[in-house]
Structures are given as structure tokens and as C-alpha cells.
Structure 1
Amino acid sequence: MIEDISLCVPGDSGAMLRVPAWRLDSGRPGPRVHLQAGVHADEIAGMLVLHKLLPRLIDAAEKGLLRGCVTLVPQANPLGIGQFRQGRILGRLHEPSGRNFNRGFPESLAQDRPVGNLAAWQKALAVLAADADIVLDLHTDEQALQYVYLHQCFWPAGQDLAAALGAEVAIIWEGDSDGAFEEVVIAPWLAEGRFEGRLVSTVELRGQGDVSDALAQQDADGIYRFLCVRGLIAEPARLPSWQGRAVPIGHMETVFAPATGVLVFERELGDQVQAGECFARIVAVPGDPSSEHRLVAPQSGLMVTRHGDRLIQAGAIAAKFTGSEASSTWTSGALDP
């Protein structure tokens, strides 16, 4: 019933690396689901979520409740998982090339020309998800509320995912995001114009430090309920009505640090901050009161994410807010630069 479908991809040293993956296939009609975590190797929460979810899915399959099939890739990035430097994992960027692991996925999976290690890994992961109807890509932000990131073609149908997870915000995007995994998966669907029964979402499981048995179990339970509602598991499940807020990506406000210094937040995640209100300060020269920079909200909104360290570099993202109108600074592409 459970099949080991682990991938082997070339590492930066030339040695082959394993991407652990499993598939449960009922042999019955039903949705095809792909669940993965750790594309950015320093985002750990989703790895524990899928670790807890897999035994429950196996149990459902053994009881004859599984319909369709489900693939799980709990630790998707063997290139990034080895990038430890001075005791910390640096998993967002591919160190040899400086590229974001979740950008530049191949536009075509049919190409068979020689590619580098990073592209080979990206293609292998995308091929694994290519025949799925439902794809959840589990990530985390630095410090954040839980939110889901969905293309506009999946909204409002995707409210069931937001409700199942208890996500506080849904960010609705359109256009392109520089070849992120999610974009590559839905590209053929956009060409077909067929979205019924399909969904792809980047799920942001709060912040990078929010890793615990309690939170992982809560999120695994939420995904399980969602999969029941979507017909993968023949088990009744009820979802609460979703009480969060949906925000077009162009309405999200990103505030950048004007200087390097000590970052002091005056408001918390989830706080409603008014336009012009100071939510944080940067002390550029400790000891010099005149060196303080006040960071203010460009418009009224909910603080969704904030910088994880309390020493910030000029130009880094200090915080992101929901907005009720178009942001004056957003142009196009992904939410993060």
C-alpha cells in the first residue's frame, strides 16, 4: 500500500543525494495529492507536520478509507539541508549559485538537456508533483501569523484550506512569481483553464521558530480534515466557517528598514495597526537618541509578518501588513524579493 518513491539527485559535490518520498495509492478513483515541506531547507515546521501526518494517512489506507493517491515529501531539499554555517542552517539560498531555492523552477518539464545540480533537483521535484490535482507546499516566514498563499483562480474555492488550518490571512496572487514551485505546477492548468477539483497553495506555517509537537499536530489535523473534505479520505469532516481576511497581493504592504541597527517592535503579530502609526523603531547608534528611526504603517492593516532577528540590516524587510487598498510600493511578482 505504501511505496517508497525517494528521489536521487546530484549534490553540489557530485555525490548523489536522497530526497525521501512516499506514495499511498488506493487504486480507487479520487484526487491525486502532493504534499511537501522544506523547499527552503531552513523552514522546519512543515517537516514535523508531515512526519505526524504520514502515519495517520497510512492508517486510513489500511482501513480502506483512502481514495485516489497521496505523495509526501517531508524534507524536500537535500542541497540546502547541509548548508550549516557557524551553527545555523542557511537554507533559503543555494550557496554556490546564490539563487533562491524556490525561484527559477523549469518552465518545461519535457526538456532533456544537461542542467546544473540545482535545476536537476528542481525538475525532479516538479515532475513528482506534475500529475497531482492538489498540491500543498509547506513553508514558514521569519515570524508570522499562519497564512495561505493562493492564485486567484483558486479563490474563493480555497477557503476550505484556510478554514481547515485556521489561517488568519489568505494572500491572493496573480501574474507570475519568478518561477516559484507553485507557479510551475499551475502553469498547464492555466493554459487549460480547468480548475475544478484542483488547488495549489503555499502554506506558511507561522514563523521559523514555531516548531513543536502541539503546533505540528494541530496543523497535521487541519490538513487531514482538508483532505477529507476534498475526497481523498472517506471520513466525515466538518470545517468551521473561515473568519480570516483575504488580501490581494497588490494590497500587501512591505516596510523595509531605512538603516542598520537594533530593531525594537512596539506592536505584535496580529495587531491591527493604523495608518501612520509607529509599530517599530531602529536604533542605529545605541547611545545616540537622534539615531532612532520610527517605522510607521503605510496604511491601516494587520501585522502579518516581521523580521526574525533584533538586529536588522538596511534594506531588509522589517514587517508586512494587510492593506485595504493598493500598495504604493508593490509592482508585480512574488511577495518577497
Structure 2
Amino acid sequence: MDRSEIIISGDTAGMEWRLPVLRFKGSDPKAPKIHIQAALHANELPGTALVHFLCEKLRAVESAGEIRSDITIIPHANPIGAAQSHFGELQGRFDLGTRTNFNREFPLISVKDRDGLVAELDRYNAVDRLKRQLMHMALEADLVIDLHCDDESLQYAYIDEAFWPEAADLASALDMEAVLLSDGESSAFEEAIGYAWKHETSEKKTRLPGKLSVTVELRGMRDVYPDMAKKDAEGLFNFLAARGAIAHPVTLAPFTGPAVPLDNIEMIRAPEAGTVLFHRNIGEEIKEGELLATILTRPGMADGAIEVRAPQAGLIVTRTSSRLVRRRADLMKIACGAASKVVRKPGALEN
């Protein structure tokens, strides 16, 4: 394993960040190249724990000469966000300086223009330099895995329809409980990678066999435990072996969970501000009209509570950990068999 660092100079005097990059050299130039990164949202740490144990396994097979692919791993992809706290709370999702989501506004380019990402980097602020260098590295790979987590959540992934159902092997290997099929229309990291591949030629590609760019949501923010991380590392190792990156025999079971387009996701939002009392939990199958939550809008008053009910049947994939919510705050994501009646704009489900 080779370790190097990318140094990102700050936007104020005397500041810089160091981004560690781990590389395993493969023996087969025809094997798919791999890029794995964790904690682009700096406070989402299940992926960082996963890659720690994954690297243990990779070092073992490296010594046995069984690594066939070039594998690049970035254990914590956002040192800038990791340094941003507000009143003692880490702010890992949005940059405090620009108010931009660290996983949005990646350049939408053709893969042919990859080298332009790192040309004249001094023209850009530190966050954009970080994004451009991450994207430049990833576009050298064939399989790109961006490890995130949700708030309170099942294990699931956002997978562009261009990679499905070929990517069902990843869903199986990681024991995902759902797959959300995205439309590739946002500027999030994994969709920007897919965009670059789709626009390699003048005619936009709709299928990308042998390629994969995916956001994996490793359960919830607090699901950072050694046994979970080791299990997830084993699953990702098996996926890499199944794709030919590691000379290790493995058989993956078929993926049996739901795979639904984003139009079929019911985003349950708070109609009013107040204290949330949840009646249903993640992982539960619910029916249309079932009571999901009660919001205490005026505690102590006879008319001080309102009910939130399911618009249709489905699987509760995520739930907020907040119990005091603002009006229109996201409460749940429910994966359903039919499209939501709420019209969704193309792109990401949330900011």
C-alpha cells in the first residue's frame, strides 16, 4: 500500500489541509480500476470506519499478490469540512464559507476534459480545489464508490438507472435493504462522474456497462460500530472480488430488495413546526393512511397536535433524528410501488 497526501492551501494566510490518499497497485492492467472515498460529508463516518477495515483486508491479499486492480482509497475525503464546527457541533454537510453542500456543484464535464479539472487550480477557492481533485482522481477509475450515511436509515444506495441492474451485485454484497434509482440529473459527486462518462461522445450514453458510480448510504449517522464496519468491509471486499479486482473466489446471492425510481419516493415533510412523536420506525412496511407521526404544534392545548399520515403504502427507508422540527422539514423517505402525486424536480431529493 502506498500513502500520499494532497495539500490544499487555504483561502486565508497560514491555512492548509492535507488529504491522505491510499493506493494499492494491481497486477492486471485489464482489471477495473477502483476509486473509493468516504466522508465527503465530513460528519458522516460509517464509511471511514468501513475503509479502515477494508484496508486491513486489502493489505493481507496484497502480500499474497492477489490484488488485480489499481485501487485508490480516500478514508476521509473532506478535511475542510472536518475542521468546521459551529458552537461545538461539526458542520460536515455545508461549507460555512460558501453555504454550499460539499456534495453538490461538482463540474459537469465530459471525461475527455478530465485534465482541465486540475488546470490552473489557483483560480478556485479551497472547496472547489478539493472537489476538482477528487473528481480528477475518480475519473481515472471504472468503479467509483462514494460512502455516505443518512440520519436514521436503512442500508441503501442511490444508483443511476444507467448502471442498473448490473449494480445489483453491490446491493447484494452490502446487504442493502433498498435501492433508489436516480436520474443522473444532479451535480452530486457520483452523478457528476456518471455525467462525464455519459457525455464522452457527442451522443449521450444511456447505458454504461462495466462502469459504476454510486452513493452508498451506510445506515445512520450514529451507526459507527466495529462489528458493523467489519461486516460492511467484508461486503465491499466481496463486491470487488466479484468484479475481478481481487483474485478471491466469491459467490453473491441475488439482490431481493426493492429498487424504485426517485419519483416513487414519498418525502414526508412536517406541515407545521413542533415536537415530533414518531409512531413508525425505519424498516417498517406501512399502508396508505397509516399514522406516521404526531406533531405537537401547541403543547398543552386541546387543538395543539396534528397528525401526519402515509400518502401511500411503502417501506420507511429514512427518518430524521430531530424531534423539534421546522415547517416543511424532512421527516421520512418512504419507498413506494407507485409514483408520488407530488411532482419532483429532476436531481437530488434533498439539498
Q: Secondary structure at the match of 2:141?
A: coil
Contact kept? 1:159, 1:242, Cα under 8 Å? yes
Residue number in structure 1 paired with 2:46? 45
In structure 2, C-alpha distance between the alignment counterparts of 1:227 and 1:239, rounded to whole Å: 11
Residue number in structure 2 paired with 1:189? 197
Identity rate, percent: 36
In structure 2, C-alpha distance between the alignment counterparts of 1:165 and 1:280, rounded to whole Å: 30
In structure 2, C-alpha distance between the alignment counterparts of 1:146 and 1:199, rounded to whole Å: 18
Residue number in structure 1 paired with 2:82? 81
In structure 2, C-alpha distance between the alignment counterparts of 1:55 and 1:210, rounded to whole Å: 20
Is residue 168 of structure 2 the alignment partner of residue 154 of structure 1? no
Cα deviation 1:272-314 (Å, max 9, x = unaligned): 1111211111111221241212111111110100111111111
Q: Secondary structure at the match of 1:185?
A: helix
Is residue 57 of structure 2 the alignment partner of residue 25 of structure 1? no
Residue number in structure 1 paired with 2:145? 136
In structure 1, C-alpha distance between the alignment counterparts of 2:302 and 2:190, rounded to whole Å: 45
Cα deviation 1:73-121 (Å, max 9, x = unaligned): 0100011101122332111100011110000012244153511111111
Cα deviation 1:109-150 (Å, max 9, x = unaligned): 415351111111100111111110001100000111010110
In structure 1, C-alpha distance between the alignment counterparts of 2:254 and 2:178, rounded to whole Å: 14
The structure-2 alpha-carbon separation of the partners of 1:81 and 1:275, relative to structure 1 and needing over 3 Å to count, comes to same
Contact kept? 2:42, 2:92, Cα under 8 Å? yes
In structure 1, C-alpha distance between the alignment counterparts of 2:25 and 2:140, rounded to whole Å: 13
Contact kept? 2:184, 2:195, Cα under 8 Å? no
Residue identity matched to 1:333: G
The structure-2 alpha-carbon separation of the partners of 1:146 and 1:289, relative to structure 1 and needing over 3 Å to count, comes to farther
Residue identity matched to 1:139: H
Residue number in structure 1 paired with 2:10? 11
Task: Give TM-score scaled by structure 1 length.
Answer: 0.96
Aligned-pair Cα RMSD in Å: 1.4
Contact kept? 2:6, 2:20, Cα under 8 Å? yes
1:322 Cα deviation (Å)?
Answer: 0.6
Residue number in structure 1 paired with 2:317? 304
In structure 2, C-alpha distance between the alignment counterparts of 1:8 and 1:320, rounded to whole Å: 38
In structure 1, C-alpha distance between the alignment counterparts of 2:146 and 2:82, rounded to whole Å: 17
Q: Secondary structure at the match of 1:91?
A: coil
1:20 Cα deviation (Å)?
Answer: 1.1
Residue number in structure 2 paired with 1:335? 349
The structure-2 alpha-carbon separation of the partners of 1:54 and 1:175, relative to structure 1 and needing over 3 Å to count, comes to closer
1:266 Cα deviation (Å)?
Answer: 0.3
Contact kept? 2:184, 2:194, Cα under 8 Å? no
Residue number in structure 1 paired with 2:255? 242
1:12 Cα deviation (Å)?
Answer: 4.5
Task: Give the alignment of 1:45-64 within 5 angstroms.
Answer: 45-64=46-65
Contact kept? 1:10, 1:120, Cα under 8 Å? no
In structure 1, C-alpha distance between the alignment counterparts of 2:301 and 2:80, rounded to whole Å: 44
Range with bigger deviation, 81-90 or 47-56? 81-90
Q: Secondary structure at the match of 1:217?
A: helix
Unpaired segments ≥5 residues, structure 2 = none
Residue number in structure 2 paired with 1:124? 133
Contact kept? 2:108, 2:196, Cα under 8 Å? no
Cα deviation 1:235-279 (Å, max 9, x = unaligned): 011112212110011111101111111111101111111112111
Range with bigger deviation, 59-68 or 182-191? 182-191
Task: Give the alignment of 1:283-302 within 5 angstroms.
Answer: 283-302=296-315
In structure 2, C-alpha distance between the alignment counterparts of 1:159 and 1:43, rounded to whole Å: 24
Residue number in structure 1 paired with 2:96? 95
Residue number in structure 1 paired with 2:269? 256
The structure-2 alpha-carbon separation of the partners of 1:211 and 1:200, relative to structure 1 and needing over 3 Å to count, comes to same
Contact kept? 1:106, 1:184, Cα under 8 Å? yes
Q: How many residues were matched structurally? A: 335
The structure-2 alpha-carbon separation of the partners of 1:217 and 1:12, relative to structure 1 and needing over 3 Å to count, comes to farther
In structure 1, C-alpha distance between the alignment counterparts of 2:228 and 2:322, rounded to whole Å: 22
Residue number in structure 2 paired with 1:69? 70
Q: Secondary structure at the match of 1:61?
A: helix
In structure 1, C-alpha distance between the alignment counterparts of 2:16 and 2:139, rounded to whole Å: 23
In structure 2, C-alpha distance between the alignment counterparts of 1:5 and 1:237, rounded to whole Å: 31
Q: Secondary structure at the match of 2:350?
A: coil
Cα deviation 1:213-247 (Å, max 9, x = unaligned): 01101100100010010000010111122121100
Residue identity matched to 1:184: A
Residue identity matched to 1:161: L
Contact kept? 1:12, 1:79, Cα under 8 Å? no
Q: Secondary structure at the match of 2:219?
A: strand
In structure 2, C-alpha distance between the alignment counterparts of 1:248 and 1:167, rounded to whole Å: 16
Contact kept? 1:253, 1:320, Cα under 8 Å? yes
Contact kept? 2:135, 2:189, Cα under 8 Å? yes
In structure 1, C-alpha distance between the alignment counterparts of 2:11 and 2:125, rounded to whole Å: 9
Contact kept? 1:250, 1:331, Cα under 8 Å? no
